Amino acid sequence: MAHRVDHEYEYLFKIVLIGDSGVGKSNILSRYTRNEFCLESKSTIGVEFATRTLQVEGKAVKAQIWDTAGQERYRAITSAYYRGAVGAILVYDITKRQTFDNVQRWLRELRNHADSNIVLMMAGNKSDLNHLRAVSEQDGQALAEKEGLSFLETSALDATNIQKAFQTILTEVYHIVSKKALAAQEAKANASIPGQGTTINVAETSGNTKKGCCST
Amino acid sequence: MPSSIARSGGRRLQQPRAHSLTLELVQMHESSAFASVEYSSVDFLVQSQSSSIPDVAPSFFAHSVLPKPPETYIADFHSSLVCHLNRAVHHHKFLSTLHRLGHFSSSPTYHTLLEIQMNPMSEPNVAKLILSQKKRYCKDTSTLMMMRCGVSIAFVTVSFRTSLGSDLEMGKDGIPDWLNSSLWSTTLSDGDNRIHRHSTSPTISSNAVSEPIVQPPVPVPSPATTSSSQSTATSPKSKSRDRVDKNSDDNNNDKDQNASSYGGSPDDISRQAQLLTKTKMARKLEKSAVRDNDHSKSESSGLLSRSQVTHGEHPLSLGESIIWNQFFQDSKIIEQIDRDVKRTHPDMNFFSRNSQLAKSNQDALKDILIVFAKLNPGIRYVQGMNEILAPLFYVFRNDPDEEMAAVAEADSFFCFDELLSGFCDHFYKQLDNNNVGIRAIITWLSQFLKEHDEELWRHLEIITKHSDIDMALKTLTGLVGAKFNSHQYEGFATDALDSRCLDSMGLLTSTPVAPHIVPPDTITPFQS
C-alpha cells in the first residue's frame, strides 16, 4: 500500500486480477505498482492489493488492483472481491495450455459474481518464455475476439505490455464511466425541462397502483 | 473408552493453579482415556474425550502472553504430550493399524507412525519446537500487526470451541479420524465411504463446470501396461508432458523410493496411490533394470493387470471411474503442491531450490502435503498449507540431535496433522456457509473487533473496504506461517503486543466455554 499523497485523484477504479494459480498474477501486480519482479514469489493466500495513480486523458485515476489467489478453494471466499470491481484482467500462462483452457471457467466465474458491465481484458503472461510457448498468440486473439475481450500478451519479467495492459483497461473503464457521467448530466438537464406528457403518464400509473392496492 | 469423568466434560481452570491441576487431571485420565490438554493464552482448557494429543496450535501463540515463564509451560507441555502419545501408541486399534501397514514399510506415513510408536515425539524435539516459538516481541506495533495478533489469538480461541465441538463426532473408540482412514485398512469402512462421498460432491460440481475445457484423459498410459516402453509412452498433450518433465526435474532417489513404497499394498486405495505416482513408476522402470526383479511384485500391487481393468476403469471412459478420476484429481493436486512447495520461502537457502539440501527438504514438504491430502479427501490441499508446514519442518530438521533431525519429515507430518485438525473446519468447502466454516469465523471476528475496539475496526474498514475477509483470511488459513522471513524464522511474528490486544484477549478467554455439552452444529461463533 503506497502511502503517498493519494488524495489527489478524481477517479478510483478497482481492478481484479484473476486466473489460474501460478500464471503470474502477483508479479504483474508488483511489476505494475512497484516495478518489481520476483522469480520465485510466494503463493497468494486470499487476496492482496496495491494501488497506483496514473493519468488517463488528463485525469488522475487511482487504480486499486486486487490480486486474488488462484486456487479454486479460495474462490468461494473471495468472490466478494468482485464487488465494486470495474475491470478484470484475466491472466493465463502462455506456456501452460491448461491455464488458457481454464479461461472459459474464469469468464463464467466473472459472469456469476461480477457486475455485468465489468470491463474485461485477457492477458497471456510469460511472453518472454517464447521457446516454451504452448498457446499461440493467434489462439489467444481468437478467443478474445470470440468473447469480446481486449487481449495482450504480457511479460511481468521483462515488463512487456504490463503498462499497456493497465493503461488500456483503465482507459476503457474511464470512457465508460465518463460517458455515464455525461449521460447522467444530460438526463439531469432534460429532467429540468418541464414536459406535459410525463405528467399524464404519472397520473395514469398512480391510478392503476391504487386499484391494485385496494384489491389486495 | 473415556472415563465418566471425561464424559462429564472438560473443565476450565483458573489461571494460577492451572498447570498443576491440569497435570493432575491428565494423570487421572491417564489409564482410561485420551485426555488432551490445550494451553490457551491465559488459561488452560482441559479437554477429555478428545484427540490423542494436545493441540499444538495454541502454544504457537501463547508464548507472548504467558503469565508465567515459558519454561514452566514447556515442561508441562512435554509431559502431557509424551504421555498422550504413549497412550495413543498403546491403543490396540492403533497397533492393529500399524500391523496392517506392513506393506507400506517405507512410505512416509508408515515412517511417521512408526516413529511415533518408537519414539513418541522426543522431548527434545518438543522443547525445541516450543522454545523456538518463544519470540521477542515484535517492534512493529502498527495497527496491522495488532490486528493480526488479535486475530490469531481470537482465532485460537474460536478454533478451540469449534474443535472441541467437532471432537464429539469422533469415533466411538476415541480414535482420531485420520487413523480410521481407509488408507490403512484393506476394505473401505463405512465411515470412509461417507467421507469420500462427502468430498466428491464439490469436486463433481467443479468438474461439471470445467467439463468443456478439461482435456479428455486420453493419452495417459493404460493401467494395463507393465512394460517400461509402453508405460512411458507419454501423452501428446502438453499437460501430461509437463507433468513428466516436472517429475524428472525433481527426480532423485528419495522420490523413487516413495513412489515404489506405495506399491506394496494390495488394497484399492493404495492402488490409487500407485496410479498417482505412476509416471514416477514409469520412469523408474525405464531407468533401472535392477528394479525388474520386483516386476512381478509391482504388477500384483500397483499397476493393474489387464484382467483387472474393467470398462469402467478405462482412462478413456467418461464415466465415474473411481480409479482414473482419482488419478486425474490427484495429479492436479500434486501439480499444485509441487508448484507451491517450490515457492515456499524462496528467500531461504533451506528451502530454495538450488542445493541438494533444499531439494530434499522440498521433497519432504511435498510428501507430507501429498499424504495429508490423501488422508483428508475433504480438504485435500489448500494453498497456504505449505506456509504452515514450512516452519514446523524447519524446526525439526534443524534439531541438533542428528537422529531427531533424520526423522524430521515424520515429526513434522505428525505435528502438521495435529495442528490442522484443530481448525480444519476452515478448510472444508462444504462448511463455508455453515456456522463453523471460514466465513462465519471471519464475520465473527469482524463483529468481535467492532464490539471491542471499534476504532481499530473502523480504521481497517476504511483502509480496505473488505477488512473482515482481508485481514483475517491469511491468518486463519495460513496461521502466521507466511509471516516468516529468514531472519526471524525462529519465531511466529504475531506478538505485536499492545494493551489493546491483551484486553481483547482477556475478554475472549474469559468467555465461559462449555463446548462439550453443546453439539457441534449448535455452536455459533457469535458466543462472545
Q: What are the pLDDT digits (tens) for B490-514? A: 333 233 222 223 223 222 222 222 2
Residue that has been written with the C-alpha cell 468481535 in this structure? B448
Residues in chain A within 8 Å Cβ distance of B334: none
How many whole angstroms separate alpha carbon B276 and alpha carbon A119? 41
What confidence tier does A142 reach under pLDDT thresholds 50, 70, 90? very high
Q: Could B469 and A46 be called an inter-chain contact, meaning their C-beta atoms sit closer than 8 Å? A: yes
Q: At what angle do helices B467-478 and B143-167 cross, to 10 degrees?
A: 60
Which among A69, A71, A77 has CB closest to B432?
A77
Residues in Cβ contact with B374 at an 8 Å cutoff, skipping those fewer than 6 apart = B183, B273, B276, B330
Among A45, A65, A147, the residue to mutate for chain B (most B Cβ within 10 A): A45
Q: Tell me whether A71 touches chain B (CB under 8 Å).
A: yes
Q: Tell me whether A37 touches chain B (CB under 8 Å).
A: no
DSSP 3-state assignment of A85?
coil
> Minimal Cα–Cα distance from A154 to chain B, Å?
21
Give residues 10 to 29 of B whose Cβ lies within 8 Å of A.
Answer: none
Residues in Cβ contact with B410 at an 8 Å cutoff, skipping those fewer than 6 apart = B108, B111, B112, B114, B115, B116
Contact pairs from chain A to chain B, CB under 8 Å: 94
Chain B nearest-CA residue for A104: B213
DSSP 3-state assignment of B229?
helix
Name the stretches of chain B with pLDDT < 50: 1-70, 73-74, 77-78, 80-301, 467-468, 480-483, 485-528
Rg (CA), chain A: 22
Burial (Cβ within 10 Å: 0-12, 13-18, ≥19) of residue B123: middle
DSSP 3-state assignment of A20?
coil
pLDDT at site B109: 38
Burial (Cβ within 10 Å: 0-12, 13-18, ≥19) of residue B307: exposed
Q: Tell me whether B4 touches chain A (CB under 8 Å).
A: no
Q: Tell me whether A102 touches chain B (CB under 8 Å).
A: yes
Cell numbers describing residue B109 = 506415513
Burial (Cβ within 10 Å: 0-12, 13-18, ≥19) of residue B18: buried
pLDDT at site B291: 40
Structural domains of chain A, with CATH: 11-187 (3.40.50.300)
pLDDT at site B207: 39
By the 8 A CB rule, do B306 and B220 touch? no
How many whole angstroms separate alpha carbon A46 and alpha carbon B230? 42
Average pLDDT, integer, range A89-108: 94
pLDDT at site A137: 94
How many whole angstroms separate alpha carbon A170 and alpha carbon B207? 34
Average pLDDT, integer, range A27-32: 94
> Minimal Cα–Cα distance from A205 to chain B, Å?
40
Residues in Cβ contact with B242 at an 8 Å cutoff, skipping those fewer than 6 apart = A96
pLDDT at site B466: 52
Tens-digit pLDDT profile for residues A153-185: 999 999 999 999 999 999 999 999 988 888 888
Give the torsion sign (CA, B382, B388, B389, B390).
positive
Residues in chain A within 8 Å Cβ distance of B249: none
Q: Could B343 and A41 be called an inter-chain contact, meaning their C-beta atoms sit closer than 8 Å? A: yes
Give residues 479 to 508 of B whose Cβ lies within 8 Å of A.
Answer: 482
DSSP-assigned letters across all residues of A103-172: HHHHHHHHHHHS-TT-EEEEEEE-TT-GGG--S-HHHHHHHHHHHT-EEEE-BTTTTBTHHHHHHHHHHH
Over chain A, what is the mean pLDDT?
A: 83
pLDDT at site B308: 56
pLDDT at site B185: 39
Which among A96, A98, A108 has CB closest to B209?
A108
pLDDT at site B497: 25
Average pLDDT, integer, range A89-117: 92
pLDDT at site B407: 78
- Which amino acid makes up residue B231? S
Q: Tell me whether A132 touches chain B (CB under 8 Å).
A: no
Chain B nearest-CA residue for A38: B346
Cell numbers describing residue B388 = 504452515
pLDDT at site B418: 75
Q: Could B473 and A47 be called an inter-chain contact, meaning their C-beta atoms sit closer than 8 Å? A: yes
How many whole angstroms separate alpha carbon B205 and alpha carbon A84? 27
Query: E strands along B214-287, which residues?
Result: none
Residues in Cβ contact with B24 at an 8 Å cutoff, skipping those fewer than 6 apart = none
Residues in chain A within 8 Å Cβ distance of B387: 42, 45
How many whole angstroms separate alpha carbon B335 and alpha carbon B242? 10
Which among A43, A77, A105 has CB closest to B469?
A77
Among A67, A77, A111, the residue to mutate for chain B (most B Cβ within 10 A): A77
Min mean pLDDT across A34-43, A116-125, B245-254, B426-435 is at B245-254
Burial (Cβ within 10 Å: 0-12, 13-18, ≥19) of residue B356: exposed
Residues in Cβ contact with B332 at an 8 Å cutoff, skipping those fewer than 6 apart = none
pLDDT at site B322: 66
Give the torsion sign (CA, B465, B467, B471, B476).
negative
How many whole angstroms separate alpha carbon B112 and alpha carbon B94? 13
Of A1 and B378, the one with more pLDDT? B378
Whether the model clears a pTM of 0.80, i.e. scores above it, the answer is no
Domain residues of chain B, as ranges? 70-102+122-163+322-505
How many whole angstroms separate alpha carbon B121 and alpha carbon B419? 14
> Minimal Cα–Cα distance from B467 to chain A, Å?
11
| Angle (nearest 5°) at CA B316 between B188 and B246 | 80
How many whole angstroms separate alpha carbon B500 and alpha carbon B337? 38
DSSP 3-state assignment of B434?
coil
Reference B298, options B369, B231, B372, B370; nearest CA is B231
Q: Could A43 and B477 be called an inter-chain contact, meaning their C-beta atoms sit closer than 8 Å? A: no
What confidence tier does A27 reach under pLDDT thresholds 50, 70, 90? very high
> Minimal Cα–Cα distance from A4 to chain B, Å?
14
Chain A nearest-CA residue for B381: A73
Of A57 and B517, the one with more pLDDT? A57
How many whole angstroms separate alpha carbon B322 and alpha carbon B103? 22
How many whole angstroms separate alpha carbon B520 and alpha carbon B505? 23
Among B241, B336, B342, the residue to mutate for chain A (most A Cβ within 10 A): B336
Residues in Cβ contact with B414 at an 8 Å cutoff, skipping those fewer than 6 apart = B112, B115, B116, B121
In eight-state DSSP terms, residue A43 is P
CA dihedral B438, B441, B445, B447 (to 10 degrees): 120
pLDDT at site B215: 40
Q: Tell me whether B172 touches chain A (CB under 8 Å).
A: no
Q: What is the ipTM of this complex?
A: 0.74
Q: Could B439 and A105 be called an inter-chain contact, meaning their C-beta atoms sit closer than 8 Å? A: no
Average pLDDT, integer, range A189-202: 57
Residue A71 — φ and ψ, nearest 5°? -70, 145
By the 8 A CB rule, do A26 and A67 touch? yes
